[in-house]
Chains A and B, each alone.
Chain A
């Protein structure tokens, strides 16, 4: 143990490494169904370093969202555990911000209020002015300040997802979980949101660990340091982990034209289309 901040769990005698943002240890998740037990993911082991952006990619039903939900604390592992900040996850907490697949904004609250309620809930001891300042800061960051008093139904899909991203960032979590966040958006909006997300992450000194579930290969390569490729479900597990060693900041056009990008894309295509082809 070289690192002084490493902690030893006396009871379990497990070592939690301080440089790790998320540790998944031998996790299996199964659900009871009328037809019997359904094993969604099996024996998943994954270490994600602090400040890394990791994508989980795979076909529908490969349990990628299940893994995200387990880290979020929404789903409990049947076996194994998820460790975040030295603690085994047992419930959702403010150390993990979530951007949901379908935005999940509260339709009766304005853009500003949607973010405010999250901030108010997590920073309950702060004053109202302070909380409003936090909300305004992130509204400016995602360019929605002028739309702050609109209801979700009055703004576009891209703006809704910006609101959801601002909401997740506003509680200043050490981990950000994104569940197919850009799936419903058009290509142009998607591209600008990718850039905004990396800028938000960079403006915070790359401190946040980001885990994103996606089925978009280009998106996964552009955003990630590491790409986790899942095998097919049921009882899906991690098939491959591909490192993306392309320096940041990445400029989309030249990035997509680079040979490194093409090599990784070809490898991912091979894995998804041939090795773990959809059943």
Chain B
């Protein structure tokens, strides 16, 4: 009987053997376990989110609703997402449009950083001389807060939007550069010997050995860089003003709409997660054994 029911719901399920009913109960248990294994992480995630929302609501009540609770925030978030691309002038643009401006800046700063970081990283990784020459500079500039670069950007470009792109560039440079250098420096002697033994040209060495070997490292660097870029953009746009998700957060704070600020935080988090996963799957694509 159980088999019949199971068969009805699960196409392709077949039960063989003479003692079908006994087997069926076994199959049902296995099936239940399978579904449970699939469902369990999702359920647990929901439990976690539920607990978090409860905690948030508690804080909101504790602060006498000076901080909005989940219900009012989520309804504001929903209304923001329903019409994301409206443009009613400089201080009233849809969240989609603001995100778009931020994305463009991140793409430009990060893209430019990548163009510089990969070749320089390869050079530092391939040549001990270059490494010794420039590694100290890299090590000193790497930990500098992005905001410290802002005045330099302003002086160099004479406008705050370009200065924001500049700080994205200058901060997302390092992870890619360092990872590329580490990747290139760790090419095993075996591969170098192949290149020597068969007389690979410099181009062939770079294209067939250096880049393929370093690629997983480079992608990891890019993943870290895009994470940094996305962190920095919010701060940058708070300083520069005008447009973007960072400006939106600051503008919403000035308008005393904490619902919008929290909604923006959620959106920033989700977009950051998506960017991270994008580079993670790109990394998996180029990993070899």
A: residues with CB less than 8 A from B are 72-74, 91-94, 96-98, 100, 102, 104, 106-109, 117-118, 120-122, 151, 153, 167, 171
Contact = CB atoms under 8 A, between A and B. Distances in A.
Contacts of A98: 193, 197
Interface in B180-227: 190-191, 193-194, 196-201, 204, 208-209, 212-213
B288 interface: yes
Interface residues of B, number: 17
A72 B198 CA distance: 11
A72 B195 CA distance: 13
Query: What 6 A-B pairs are tightest by C-beta distance, nearest first?
Result: A118-B198, A108-B212, A153-B289, A98-B197, A104-B190, A92-B196
Nearest to A171: B198
Contacts, number: 55
A104 B192 CA distance: 10
Interface in B227-262: none
A117 B204 contact: yes
A171 B209 CA distance: 19
B212 A100 contact: no
Interface in B262-277: none
B208 A104 contact: no
B208 to A, nearest CB: 6
Contacts of A100: 190, 193-194, 197
Contacts of B289: 107, 153
Given A104-B190, A104-B193, A107-B288, A94 B198 contact: yes
A151 B212 CA distance: 14
Nearest to A93: B199
B209 A121 contact: no
Given A92-B196, A151-B288, 12 more contacts: A74-B193, A98-B197, A102-B190, A106-B194, A107-B288, A117-B198, A117-B208, A120-B204, A121-B199, A121-B204, A153-B288, A167-B198
A122 B198 CA distance: 7
A101 to B, nearest CB: 9
